[in-house]
A and B are shown apart, each in its own frame.
Chain A
Amino acid sequence: MDFLNAIVALANYVLVPGIAYGSQLALGALGVTLIYGILRFSNFAHGDTMAFGAMVTVLLTWWFQSMGVSLGPLPTALLALPFGVLGCVFMLLATDRAVYRFYREKKAKPVILVIVSMGVMFIMNGIVRFIVGPDDQQFLDGERFLISARTFKEMTGLNEGLAIKSTQAITLVTAIVVVALLFWFLNRTRAGKSMRAYSDNEDLALLSGVNPERVVMLTWIIVAALATIAGVLYGLDKSFKPFTYFQLLLPIFASAIVGGLGNPLGAIAGGFVIAFSEVTITYAWKKVLGYLMPDNLAPDGLVQLLSTDYKFAVSFVILLIVLLFKPTGLFKGQSV
């Protein structure tokens, strides 16, 4: 019985939040990795792109809510999501036309593009703060829990409850659908294959008649969709606050690099590696150990390895270890 309790407590505090957070990071890292693969620079504006897409979705969600439109038990935000994606696509294509294209045609060095993306980051951050302000925004409605801790306890008779928030379930389902679609697109369609070809060897792809501007446009569209979905899912699960998206930049880059920059499969794996390390290292293990160990050995303290504020440090240390020992990432990414 104690053993079951321990497993349930572990699932409740580590597995379920870790899976949800990991899916969000994976979606974010996919966007970073695609831009790196096709456009060949690290996009520092990615966090703020996520914030922008999520902001459009939040505004539309409020509008739908005010009109009384809802999806019943599901959050209204899901209804607004496609429009949020559209808004973000429009924004990114406009940015590409106004900013990035000039440097692409000049064949500027990647580091210049990184600095340019810093400028874009400032502007997007400013726009988002200008429109919705820097504060926390609530836009979640519908059913709160798939299973609440109390129902679970009544069902199983265990001491520990297993709560699954509906947003966590939605995150996982959406992430699986999105990733499946993305891989189908990259591996099965002609456009997707041309993107991969362009990423593998630019010159060869150009010789075979791949239109680079079309590839770049497709990339931005896909990145906009990924960023918006990741941003909205994170916002639903935690809360929407512009600054947190900027802070997500570090774990997202860590995920992409740990997986191997430019490798989509790696980005997903990296997302989960980072998410689970953050959650396990900052989780107080007292409860789980209390169930597993004999009474006289049960720990006194919280058995928390690091306080939650150090979660950035965790993603960073993993990043550093991978960079030092396996610079191309766990899955083979593009050169170092």
Chain B
Amino acid sequence: MNAMVKNVGLFAIVGVLILLTGFLQSWNAAVLILNMGLISAIMALGVNLQWGFAGLFNIGVMGFVALGGLATVLVSMPPTEGAFAAGGVRVVLALVLGAATITAAVLIHGAMQKGWLRTAAMIVLLVVGFFVYRAVLDPGVAAIEAIDPAATGYLGGLGLPVLIAWPVGGLFAAGAAWLIGKTALGLRSDYLAIATLGIAEIIIAVMKNEDWLSRGVKNVIGIPRPVPYEIDLQGDPGFVERAAGLGLDPVMASTLYVKLLYAGLFLTVLVLLLWMAQRALASPWGRMLRAIRDNEVAAEAMGKDVKRRHLQVFILGSAICGIAGAMMTTLDSQLTPSSYQPLRFTFLVWVMVIVGGSGNNFGAVLGGFLIWFLWVQVEPMGRLLMDVITAGMTDGYWLKVHLLESAAHMRLFTMGLVLLLVLRFNPRGLIPEK
């Protein structure tokens, strides 16, 4: 019971912090923190599933989040007029050829005897396959990118409602996780870490460069929303009247209303996933995962299929990160591939899981909210601190100018410090595993 009170208290503290933001700064900022906190909590749930349940060291979270974002574009944007006819067929054909080449290489590897002949055959096949792939792909890409490059220049999406993109984002991430898991899960933990780190960078590189797919660094803006637009609400006399009844001006009321609708959607997803994760944790499957985590050799000796369980949980955790990524892109209404930074999207999520308590779903959720709050609020706090430190210095003194300018970089330092302190003094996190 005591632990229960403590946990509720911890969540209440985070709630109070967000409310304080509302009273002291602005309610828009507070609800934005809440929204991003919900998304961060979902990402932390995904990583907790992999690390906390199964001890898998995945530092490619950024890649799965980005795949979710890509799904939003591919599902919800309207298709570009004539793009598919111009080059879509070629592109699809090229992708199929590319996949076929790799499959053939894998088959050769399995079918032929080990030796230089097999190596040579595989190299020849891959090289020839690569050139055929490029020969088919390149004209198609050029044709698609030539269609009104300033506005579109990409295939576009399917024009479906954006909410469908959330599960699809999860599927995309799950597919990528399956590929990675098949190749890299047998490796030692550090190697899996490097492999996932690399995959994430590659996914971002693809999204930045393949303009036909995601418009690259030109970004996709104006992704359809699942909630009404502020401008429509402000034009709706009924809404303005109700806002006035609450004593709010229409602009403020509409922005808050939209954000709260998002918060409701995100909360639904979080609660659903949390419920599922809790059920999984308590199920025989969850117990088996923890047994594998704690002693892989013993679990294997008991006849548990370690590799399959690892693959399963890796896919599930990555899918959750993909869902969170799709939700985040929906909230932003735009996809900006260059904004995906590993420090922000991979390592910060790790800090959330470790600080919150790895192995405990509620811990991960708490960590998601708390660390996101810190991430946002450290900057103004740092500025305040610097103001205090430099108060005695004359204006324009180089050190004062430098300190004030650098306050923005306090973030990373604080996150590292929090992570190290928790690891040292409270390694099980705020809400430890039972």
Q: Taking beta carbons and an 8 Å cutoff, which residues of A are in contact with B?
A: 41-42, 99, 102, 110-112, 114-116, 118-127, 129-131, 133-134, 246-247, 249-250, 253-254, 257, 301, 305, 307, 309-310, 312-313, 315-316, 319-320, 323-324, 327, 336
- Residues in B185-213 with C-beta less than 8 Å from chain A: 187-191, 193-195, 197-199, 201-202, 205, 208-209
The CA of A250 and the CA of B121, in the complex, are separated in Å by 30
Asked if A126 contacts B405 (CB within 8 A), the reply is no
Contact yes or no, A123 B194, CB < 8 A: no
Q: Is B183 part of the binding interface, using a Cβ–Cβ cutoff of 8 Å?
A: yes
Pick from A102, A115, A122, A316: contact of B412, CB below 8 A.
Answer: A122
Taking a contact as CB atoms closer than 8 A, the residue among A42, A122, A127, A307 that contacts B347 in the complex is: A122
Q: B413 interface residue, CB < 8 Å from A?
A: yes
Interface residues on B, range: 35 or more
Known contacts A115-B350, A323-B195, A123 near B190 by CB under 8 Å = no
Residue numbers in B under 8 Å from A312 (CB-CB): 198, 201-202, 205
Q: Which of B240-262 contact A (CB under 8 A)?
A: none
CB-defined contacts of B354 to chain A, threshold 8 Å: 115
CB–CB A316/B199 < 8 A = yes
In the complex, A283→B348 CA distance in Å? Answer: 35
B209 pairs with A309, CB closer than 8 A: yes
Please provide the 4 A-B residue pairs with the shortest distance between their CB atoms, ordered closest to farther: A122-B416, A126-B413, A123-B416, A316-B198
18 inter-chain pairs at a CB distance below 8 angstroms, sorted by A residue, are A41-B190, A42-B194, A114-B193, A115-B354, A119-B417, A121-B416, A122-B412, A125-B343, A129-B409, A130-B410, A250-B198, A301-B138, A312-B205, A313-B202, A313-B205, A319-B194, A319-B198, A327-B187
In chain B, positions 149-197 with a C-beta closer than 8 Å to chain A are: 183-184, 187-191, 193-195, 197
Report the separation of the CA atoms of residues A123 and B420 in the bound assembly, to the nearest whole angstrom. Answer: 9
Are B189 and A110 neighbours in the complex by a CB distance under 8 Å? yes
Q: Is the CB of B419 within 8 A of A310?
A: no
Chain A's nearest CB lies how many Å from the CB of B55? 8
Chain B residues closer than 8 Å to A315, beta-carbon distance: 198
- Measuring CB to CB, which residues of chain B are less than 8 angstroms from any residue of chain A? 55, 57, 59, 130, 138, 183-184, 187-191, 193-195, 197-199, 201-202, 205, 208-209, 342-343, 347, 350-351, 354, 405-406, 409-417, 419-420, 423-424, 427
**Within the complex, what minimum Cβ distance (angstroms) separates A271 from chain B?**
16
Least Cβ–Cβ distance between B306 and chain A, in angstroms: 16
Q: In the assembled complex, which residues on chain B have CB atoms less than 8 Å from the CB atom of A316?
A: 195, 198-199, 201-202
Shortest B295–chain A CB gap in Å is 13
Q: In the assembled complex, how far is the CB of residue B75 from the closest CB belonging to chain A, in whole angstroms? A: 26
| A126-B348 Cα distance, complex, nearest whole Å | 14
Q: Contact: B343 with A122, CB < 8 Å? A: yes
Task: Name the B residues within 8 Å of A123 (CB-CB).
Answer: 412-413, 416-417, 420
How many angstroms between the C-alpha atoms of A26 and B191 in the bound complex?
19
Bound together, the chains give a CA A111 to CA B188 distance in angstroms of 10
Cα(A257)–Cα(B55), bound, Å: 22
Chain A residues contacting B405 (CB-CB under 8 Å) are 133
* Interface of chain B, main secondary structure: helix
**Is there contact, CB below 8 Å, between B420 and A257?**
no
Beyond A114-B189, A115-B354, 9 additional pairs, beta carbon < 8 A: A110-B189, A118-B59, A122-B347, A122-B419, A126-B409, A130-B413, A309-B208, A327-B187, A336-B188
Chain A interface mostly: helix
- Please state if B194 and A250 are interface contacts (CB–CB under 8 Å): yes
Question: Contacts A99-B420, A120-B416, A310-B209 known; A42 to B190 CB distance under 8 Å?
Answer: yes
A203 to B193, CA, bound (A): 28
Q: Is the CB of A118 within 8 A of B347?
A: yes
Chain B's nearest CB lies how many Å from the CB of A252? Answer: 10
Q: How far is the CA of A240 from the CA of B328 in the complex (A)?
A: 33
Residues of B within 8 A of A313 (CB): 201-202, 205
A96 to chain B, nearest CB (A): 13
Q: Are A114 and B190 in contact (CB under 8 A)?
A: yes
User: Chain A nearest CB: distance from B357 CB in Å?
Assistant: 14
Q: Are B195 and A320 within 8 A (Cβ)?
A: yes
Q: A323 CA to B191 CA in the complex, in Å?
A: 8
Q: Are B350 and A320 in contact (CB under 8 A)?
A: no
Q: How far is the CB of B421 from chain A (nearest CB, A)?
A: 9
Q: Which residue of B lies closest to A313 (CB)?
A: B202
Q: Which residue of A lies closest to B217 (CB)?
A: A309
Q: Decide: A133 and B406 in contact? CB cutoff 8 A.
A: yes
Given contacts A122-B347, A307-B209, A309-B209, contact A130 B417 (CB under 8 A): no
Residue in chain B with minimal CB distance to A118: B347
Contact A125 B412 (CB under 8 A): yes
Q: Which residue among B130, B347, B417 has the maximum number of chain A CB atoms within 10 Å of its CB?
A: B347
Q: Are A336 and B420 in contact (CB under 8 A)?
A: no
| B409 touches which of A111, A130, A247 (Cβ 8 Å) | A130
Most buried by A among B197, B351, B423, B427: B423
In the complex, the answer to whether B412 meets A126 with C-beta atoms within 8 Å is: yes
A119 to B413, CA, bound (A): 9
Residues of B within 8 A of A336 (CB): 187-188, 191
A110-B412 contact, Cβ under 8 Å, with A312-B202, A320-B183: no
Residues of B within 8 A of A320 (CB): 183-184, 195, 198
- Distance between A161 CB and nearest chain B CB, rounded to angstroms: 30
Q: Which of B130, B195, B347 sits near A319, CB closer than 8 Å? A: B195
